[in-house]
Amino acid sequence: MHDTPDATTPATGCPVGRPDLFTWEFAADPYPAYAWLREHAPVHRTALPSGVEAWLVTRYGDARQALADARLSKNPVHHSEAAHGKGKVGIPGERSANLMTHLLNIDPPDHTRLRRLVSKAFTPRRVAAFAPRVQELTDRLIDSFAAKGEADLIHEFAFPLPIYAICDLLGVPPEDQDDFRDWAGMMIRHGGGPRGGVARSVKKMRGYLAELIHRKRETLEATPAPDEDLISGLIRASDHGEHLTENEVAAMAFILLFAGFETTVNLIGNGTYQLLRHPAQRELLHKSIEAGEHDLLATGIEELLRYDGPVELATWRFATEDLTLGGQRIAEGDPVLVVLAAADRDPARFADPDVLDLTRRDNQHLGYGHGIHYCLGAPLARLEGQTALATLLTRLPDIRLAAEVADLRWRGGLIMRGLRSLPVQFTPE
Ligand code: HEM
């Protein structure tokens, strides 16, 4: 058993004392607190800001094991508090919108069936064919601010790129994509905050998707020629004669939007921010891009995911029976949160874990998760991240931070890690 101190005790000089978790100071740099937990309380029970108590898993070995452990369910019905109607977990507004049957909330065999079907439509080939479109979107967004000599890279670049990309991929017509941008903006701004606005946005998105899916189904029935967009692909996907129901297609489109949006915003935001803070690494990357090499861009994106990844904590898991993890007893019904950001800086797994090294090759990070829920969108995220960073460095070679690091604010919320804004300056194009 490990000593698990009360994390609500005021900080006494972390990393040597007990850290305060989930405060503003913590959000700016959670890594010393995570190092403390890894060392002193690697499986640690704490009260989250919502009041729900959960176990935080911070060592790489335990994290990997937990992500692949079938005794840890993704279905919130296994949460001990669900029985008492507290149900505070999940995507805000999701419950009322009946989008519960998505991949991150279900276990095998349902998960296996849905994942197999979606994998038939959301293929690496479809993503690869999308590369020119991602480049076009990236250039168009940079065009919109390149002449100004300054920009907020979150609002003007990292935020719109993934939402337009996923809308295009799904087959949302261009004239409706700004609505999606607004709904997604509401979700990202208030994800952990006022629920009314988020619930309304989710409801509108749900209504819109149901309508769109219906229209696409009718089009497919009238003209069964293969359609290029992903929603049509999801409708047509079949496995041993089985298809997704209309509600399953809607839930799948919603989770692709939800899981593929803020994550990618943060990959571009955190990734650019860390490059700007590490000039020698950024210089190395810039030179290799100029030389037309792809290797460093590929290993570099993986390193940025490890070093300051978009997903700080993996999504909720619940113990379906009493079990032991990292020497700690966990009771049936207890929530378990795997802290990917802590595991990915574990010195037991990574040499010099607190050093950003874009050339790192032994880099089996957990930024995309592990096991059966491993990120379905990883090929798309890599494509967007690589295109965004390479194009920024090429087109705005002297791009620099236009704010003090101490003045930058990180968005609240438990699962994701990302900046609210990223002011930069550069020589106008
Ligand atoms: C799952 C990270 C982008 C779709 C996950 C998980 C992680 C993750 C950590 C596992 C969560 C868990 O086990 O609790 C990321 C990161 C991204 C990214 C860091 C960007 C850099 C995307 C994109 C899409 C996507 C672009 C789709 C368009 C999904 C889906 C799942 C998932 C559908 C659930 C898979 C399942 O449960 O079987 N992602 N993701 N992600 N991701 Fe991503």
Q: Using one digit for the tens of pLDDT, what is the confidence trace for 329-359?
A: 999 999 999 999 999 999 999 999 999 999 9
Could you list the beta-strand ranges (E) of 341-405: 400-401
Asked if the model's pLDDT at residue 429 lies above 50, the reply is yes
Asked if 55 and 328 count as a contact pair (C-beta separation under 8 A), the reply is: yes
Q: Which atom of ligand 1 is nearest to the CA of 67?
A: 13
User: Which 3 state secondary structure label does DSSP give 68?
Assistant: coil
Residue 98 CB: number of other CB atoms within 10 A?
12
Residue 414: give its domain's CATH number: 1.10.630.10
**CA of residue 378 to ligand 1 center, whole Å:** 7
pLDDT attached to residue 227: 65
Percent of the chain with pLDDT over 70: 89
pLDDT in tens, 222-271: 887 766 799 999 998 887 888 898 888 988 998 998 889 999 999 999 99
What's the half-sphere exposure (Cβ side, CA atoms, 13 Å) at 30? 30
Å from CA of 312 to ligand 1 middle: 12
Beta-sheet strand order (sheet of 53-57): 43-47, 53-57, 335-338, 317-319, 72-73
> Are 419 and 409 spatial neighbours (Cβ–Cβ below 8 Å)?
yes
Assess contact for 66 and 336: CB atoms under 8 A.
yes
- Take residue 328 and report the two structure tokens written for it: 């700690």
Helices (H), 109-157: 110-121, 124-129, 131-145, 153
- Residue 380 CB–ligand 1 contact under 6 Å: yes
Task: Please indicate whether residue 266, judged by its CB atom, sits closer than 6 Å to ligand 1.
Answer: no
| Residue 417, ligand 1, Cβ within 6 A | no
Ligand 1, closest atom to CA 309? 19
The pLDDT of residue 13 is 41
* Closest CA relative to residue 122, chosen from 402, 381, 426: 381
Q: Residue 281 sits in which domain range?
A: 24-425
Model confidence at 96: pLDDT above 50: no
Is the CB of 100 inside a 6 Å radius of any atom of ligand 1?
A: no
Mean pLDDT computed over every residue of the chain: 88
Indicate the pTM of the whole model.
Answer: 0.92
On the question of a cis peptide bond just before residue 108, with omega within 30 degrees of 0, the verdict is: no
Of 413 and 151, the one with more pLDDT: 151
Give me ligand 1 centre to Cα 306, in Å: 15
In a domain, 18, yes or no: no
Number of structural domains the chain divides into: 1
How far is C-alpha 298 from the chain's CA centre?
18
Residue 173 in domain: yes
Is 9 a domain residue?
no
Contact (CB, 8 A) for 114 and 254: no
Q: How far is the CA of 259 from the centre of ligand 1 (A)?
A: 5
Residue 8, domain member (yes or no): no
> Residue 28: its pLDDT value, please?
87
Q: Which residue has the tokens 């990393």?
A: 15
Nearest 5°: phi and psi at 328?
A: -110, 135
267 lines ligand 1 (CB under 6 A): yes
Q: Is residue 16 part of a domain?
A: no
Residues contacting 136, CB < 8 A, separation 6+: none
204-to-1, 45, 137 alpha-carbon distances in Å: 48, 37, 25
User: Cα separations (Å) of 51 from 18, 234, 377, 415?
Assistant: 19, 38, 31, 15
Q: Are 96 and 203 within 8 A, CB to CB?
A: yes
Residue 175 falls inside a structural domain? yes
Q: Is 413 in the pocket of ligand 1 (CB under 6 A)?
A: no
| CA 160 – CA 188 distance, rounded (Å) | 12
Distance 16 CA to ligand 1 centre (A): 34
Q: What is the best residue among 57, 130, 263, 272 to mutate for testing ligand 1's pocket, by most ligand atoms within 8 Å of CB? A: 263
Q: Is residue 360 part of a domain?
A: yes
1 part of a folded domain: no
More confident residue, 63 or 240: 63
Q: What are the backbone angles phi and psi of residue 187, rounded to the nearest 5°?
A: -70, -40
Q: Is 260 in the pocket of ligand 1 (CB under 6 A)?
A: yes
